Amino acid sequence: MAEEIVVQIFWSDSAKKSFQKIIAYLEKEWSEKEAATFVKRVSAMLLTLQKYPDMCRPSTKRKNVRIGILDKHTQLIYHYKPRKKQIEVLLFWGMKQNPSRLKY
């Protein structure tokens, strides 16, 4: 796995909405500390992806889309654009959700 530096990471509207839903759920059902831990985990994953954008498993649905596991409950789905050196965060997906509803 070669080290490539990604210049830009941006988030789709779906990623923003799903991220906010997870944060709201954690704050309501668990605690602000759990929500802050989740935010730190996402930040750490994105920093790692900047250096190793192809480290997560490839999607079987779309080319250059990869799925990373944040924790035992959540996946991060992103599109790596190697020519532009960009990553687009597509979606945060709960592992307990129905996989047939997963669209990215």
CATH assignment of the domain containing 52: 3.30.2310.20
Looking at the domain assignment, is residue 49 inside a domain? Answer: yes
Looking at the domain assignment, is residue 104 inside a domain? Answer: no
Residue span of the structural domain in which 82 resides = 8-95
Looking at the domain assignment, is residue 102 inside a domain? Answer: no
Looking at the domain assignment, is residue 82 inside a domain? Answer: yes
Looking at the domain assignment, is residue 103 inside a domain? Answer: no
H/E segment holding residue 42: helix 32-51
Phi, then psi, of 46 in degrees rounded to 5: -65, -35
Which class for 96: exposed (0-12), middle (13-18), buried (19 or more C-beta within 10 A)?
A: exposed
Domain count, the chain: 1
Looking at the domain assignment, is residue 37 inside a domain? Answer: yes
Residue pLDDT tens, the chain, 104 long: 556 788 899 999 999 999 999 999 999 999 999 999 999 999 999 999 999 999 999 999 899 999 999 999 999 999 999 999 999 999 999 887 766 777 77
Q: What is the pLDDT of residue 96?
A: 76
